[in-house]
Amino acid sequence: MYSRQLPQTDEAQRVLRLAVALGFAALGVWAINFEYPRVMSDHGLWDFGAFVASGRAAASGLDPYGVYPPLTPHVVFPGFEAWNPNLNPPISALLFQVFDIADPATSLRLWWVISLVCHLGAVLLLLRRYSGGVEAVLLGIWAFALAGFWDTLYLGQIYTPLVLATVGAWLSLERGKFLQAGILIGLLISMKPNFLVWPVLLFLAGYSKPVWIAAATAAVVAAIPLAVFGPQIYVDWLTLVASDGERAWFLTNASFAGLASRAGLPMLGTVLGALLLLSLAAWAYWRRPQLMDISSFALVAALLASPLGWIHYTLFLLPVLLHHWHRPWTWPVAVAFTIPVPLVLGQFGKPALVQATIGSVYGWSLVLLLLGLVAQEASHHAAQRRR
């Protein structure tokens, strides 16, 4: 009797997953149709302009972290106003000089092509590993409808090459290729230091080989601007980062800091972030969990515990979502990540409660993802104790 029911159960699950994937594809078509005209419109350079200005300033011996109108974007929404200079580590002051080879508008379009290719590569690698057939095609449509992807293009941001590196590191860890994983993680944290959570948790859990390689890679990258510009560039960068707390309240910041700021309790974000990191450190050290469990928690914590966890950073969670796609708690998170950014930014100027709830949908979806991972880990630990 049992042996006859098992295939039926598997078939039911397959049909359910296919139906879910079909729903996500439909959602994706709607989101792409919404986003495409916005991105292709003549909307200016935005963050790409800040990157061009930073590289140009560095080449001229000026501060690459200064404000240089009109290239540096000035963001204005009801109740919010800020300049948006380059916030990336000092290696960016060298890399961004490449953006100034052609005129900025042409460079931006070339960068769109590179970003598109990198995102395609990341998605294909993940779908090849975690899906197949019709489901893979449907989920591919959803993956190209993500709000973080379209806003990355809109702003001219640099995330998709780093997402590709993250996917490569994830899959390399899964296959035990620690040299490759370490190099890619090192490159990631060289540009986005908030992902330092990942190698730290790996080290605490006893996976030291990729961590040492990542540390060496990051050290080499960090030494290059130090040799070219001297130590002052690191002082300028850290000064800017330390003074950038006003942007935590912005609605596309999905971190604890963003949620807490919009709730009127900004210090709570710092406390929650610290508690999350300390809890994960203790868990990694004492439980010695598996590689992909550590990596899942690390990538989520890198966003939630960061002062700024923009919607674009949710692209780095593609490996987490597809790795756990068979668990239904990932599906509402995937829906939230597809909500176009203009719909969320439309909550600016609304009552505080609206901004802390509907306007904070990206942040609450990250919390839900964290809770799903915690529940899964607790269930796994309980099953081990019963054995």
Flag whether 249 is in a domain: yes
Residue 310: domain span: 39-386
Query: What is the per-residue pLDDT for 239?
Result: 93
Cα separation, 261 vs 254, whole angstroms: 11
Query: What is the per-residue pLDDT for 381?
Result: 78
How wide is the angle at C-alpha 320 spanned by C-alphas 309 and 256, nearest 5°?
25
Flag whether 8 is in a domain: no
Kindly give, in sequence order, each residue whose CB lies less than 8 Å from that of residue 213, ignoring residues fewer than 6 positions away.
Answer: 178, 179, 181, 182, 183, 185, 186
Flag whether 11 is in a domain: no
Cα separation, 201 vs 291, whole angstroms: 10
Query: What is the per-residue pLDDT for 333?
Result: 98
Cα separation, 310 vs 254, whole angstroms: 6
Supply 120's token pair: 């395609």
Q: 């769109």: which residue's tokens?
A: 112
Determine the residue type at 239. Answer: T
Query: What is the per-residue pLDDT for 134?
Result: 94
Query: What is the per-residue pLDDT for 15?
Result: 87
Flag whether 32 is in a domain: no
CB 214 within 8 A of CB 189: yes
* Residue 331: exposure state from Cβ atoms within 10 A (0-12, 13-18, ≥19): middle
Q: Using omega within 30 degrees of 0 as the cis cutoff, is the peptide bond preceding 7 cis?
A: no
Query: What is the per-residue pLDDT for 79?
Result: 79
CA distances 227 to 5, 65, 376, Å, are 67, 18, 46
- Cα-atom radius of gyration of the chain, to the nearest Å? 21
Supply 85's token pair: 């200079």
Cα separation, 242 vs 23, whole angstroms: 43
Query: What is the per-residue pLDDT for 47?
Result: 97
Residue 6 has pLDDT above 60, yes or no: no
Q: 């980062």: which residue's tokens?
A: 241
Flag whether 9 is in a domain: no
Cα separation, 341 vs 152, whole angstroms: 11
* Residue 223: exposure state from Cβ atoms within 10 A (0-12, 13-18, ≥19): exposed
Cα separation, 2 vs 130, whole angstroms: 28
Max CA pair span of the chain: 78
Cα separation, 333 vs 302, whole angstroms: 17
Query: What is the per-residue pLDDT for 294?
Result: 97
Per-residue confidence at 243, pLDDT binned at 50, 70, 90? confident
Query: What is the per-residue pLDDT for 30?
Result: 98
Query: Could you tell me which residue, 358 or 244, shows the higher pLDDT?
Result: 358
Would you give the distance in Å from CA 61 to the centre of its chain?
32
Cα separation, 71 vs 134, whole angstroms: 44
Number of H helices, E strands in the chain: 19, 2
Q: 5-9, 168-172, 330-334 — which is least confidently predicted?
A: 5-9
Query: Taking residues 144-167, what's their average pLDDT?
Result: 98
Question: Tens of pLDDT along 175-209?
Answer: 999 999 999 999 999 999 999 999 999 999 999 99
Determine the residue type at 306. Answer: S
Per-residue confidence at 14, pLDDT binned at 50, 70, 90? confident
Residue 3 has pLDDT above 70, yes or no: no
Q: 């949908």: which residue's tokens?
A: 361
Residue 8 has pLDDT above 70, yes or no: no
Q: 């040492």: which residue's tokens?
A: 212
Residue 119 has pLDDT above 90, yes or no: yes
Q: 């419109």: which residue's tokens?
A: 41
Flag whether 24 is in a domain: no
Query: What is the per-residue pLDDT for 5?
Result: 39
Per-residue confidence at 91, pLDDT binned at 50, 70, 90? very high
Which stretches of 41-120 are assigned E, i.e. beta strand? 74-77, 80-83
Query: Taking residues 240-245, what's their average pLDDT?
Result: 83
Per-residue confidence at 81, pLDDT binned at 50, 70, 90? confident
Flag whether 139 is in a domain: yes
Cα separation, 48 vs 70, whole angstroms: 12
Query: Taking residues 318-329, what's their average pLDDT?
Result: 96
Query: What is the per-residue pLDDT for 364?
Result: 98
Total number of domains constituting the chain: 1
Cα separation, 212 vs 218, whole angstroms: 10
Query: Taking residues 259-283, what's their average pLDDT?
Result: 96
Per-residue confidence at 2, pLDDT binned at 50, 70, 90? very low
Cα separation, 160 vs 167, whole angstroms: 10
Residue 77 has pLDDT above 50, yes or no: yes
Query: What is the per-residue pLDDT for 7?
Result: 45
Q: 């969320």: which residue's tokens?
A: 344
Query: What is the per-residue pLDDT for 1?
Result: 35
Flag whether 182 is in a domain: yes
pLDDT cut 90: percent of the chain above it:
88
Supply 130's token pair: 């975690």
Residue 248 has pLDDT above 90, yes or no: no
- Averaged pLDDT of the chain: 94
Residue 80 bridge partners (DSSP): 77
